[in-house]
Amino acid sequence: MIAPHGGKLVNRIATDEERKSILSKSKEMKKIKVSYWTLSEVENIATGLFSPLEGFMNKADYDSVLDDMRLSNGIVWTIPIVLSISKEEADDLKIGEDILITDENGKEYAVLNLEDKYERRKHEEAKKIYKTDEDAHPGVKFLYEQKDIALGGKIKLLNRIEHEDFKEYRLDPVDTRKLFEEKGWKTIVAFQTRNPIHRAHEYLQKTALEIVDGLFVNPLIGKTKKGDIPADVRMKSYEVILKKYYPKNRVALGVFPVNMRYAGPREAVFHAICRKNYGCTHFIVGRDHAGVGNYYGTYEAQEIFDNFKPEEIGIVALKFEHAFYCKICGNMATSKTCPHDAKDHVFLSGTKVREMLSNGQLPPPEFTRPEVAEILMSFYQSARKDKNIDVQEI
């Protein structure tokens, strides 16, 4: 099986003895309260999903990621993983001490051994990670809302987040690796999505399945921007389409508990590395992966992989053109396989699909499977009745 990024699957989950020992000293330890967003980052570090990271980045790694898309030791890494607090909070903390990380209600989730504290270069970070410093970009807006001082150091997870949803699909890297081994899969392609699967997605997935043993559909369920389809609605669509249109012995479904950055090219590499840690050997990178608005070129998320030697990333990026249904060909295709004019292609914009669904009209089967369309229409119809939901924002 493919080795984790950096060669070793990180495990920063405290043993029972470690947990008891740490909590016995908790009254004397300083504490910092963090949001659910940060707690999920803590958990992803601890389970090895962010291998080779063992904690939040120190300044040397942070600077190197911003400037060179690598950790300070040279390993490819493209997204800062940082813990931010206010200057006032940071002034009270000393290098070398253990700090308890709690949720906003004070429940202990992890301990951080403080190795470093430094100021985030927010505007520079925005330009290098998101290629813009405009706060109209959701990732940049979120960055600017974060506190200014970053803490670096290894963590130990004391308690898991008590997730109430998608429990059967919450698989740590150690679980997916075991699952793939039990299925006898040696080559596995991962598919990242934050949208319901439509026919173009299905075409990419099944094309990739022709060259690998198994498909890991891995939808992102972390924090997304306003207007994205809710995770529970998306999960229903995945369940129904995998049950009815995919061979059971060649597909697995598991959620990707990572917060969306909308960092386009850099996030595509980050997503690939995480799937490598799950045990996947291939990763589908389509049109405008992790993009938003017009901030990135159509295939820029594919082109970024050319900056690295294949062995530096390890997982193979499968680069696909934008897929569509061609009325003349009578099937799904891309510009690589279809010679016909765009007027013969079925491609519906998100705005058009939203309009059709909210008006009770199903998108055509050339665009999405009827079972998925029914799930989406039910959601949109309910949303229209809820005065707190603006269907134009969905």
Rounded distance between C-alpha atoms, residue 338 and residue 328, angstroms: 9
In the three-class reduction of DSSP (H, G, I as helix; E, B as strand; rest coil), residue 76 is classed as strand
**Radius of gyration over every alpha carbon of the chain, rounded to an integer in angstroms:** 22
**Integer Cα distance of 62 and 80 in angstroms:** 6
- Rounded (to 5) percent helix, strand, coil in the chain: 40, 20, 45
Q: Is 218 a catalytic residue?
A: no
Q: Are 230 and 196 in contact (CB under 8 A)?
A: no
Angle between helix axes 370-385 and 350-358 (nearest 10 degrees) is: 70
Please tell me which residue in 195, 250, 287, 384 is annotated as part of the active site: 195
What is the Cα–Cα distance from 117 to 114, expressed in whole angstroms?
A: 8
26 residue type, one letter: S
Is 195 a known active-site residue?
Answer: yes
Torsion angle defined by CA atoms of residues 42, 44, 48 and 52, in that order, rounded to the nearest 10 degrees: -70
Q: How far apart are the C-alpha atoms of 282 and 314, rounded to whole Å?
A: 9
**What is the distance between the alpha carbons of residues 181 and 179, in angstroms, rounded to a whole number?**
5
The two beta strands, 316-319 and 251-253, are unpaired
The residue annotated as part of the active site, out of 120, 194, 261, 369, is 194
Most distant CA pair in the chain, distance: 72
User: So which residues are the catalytic ones?
Assistant: 194-195
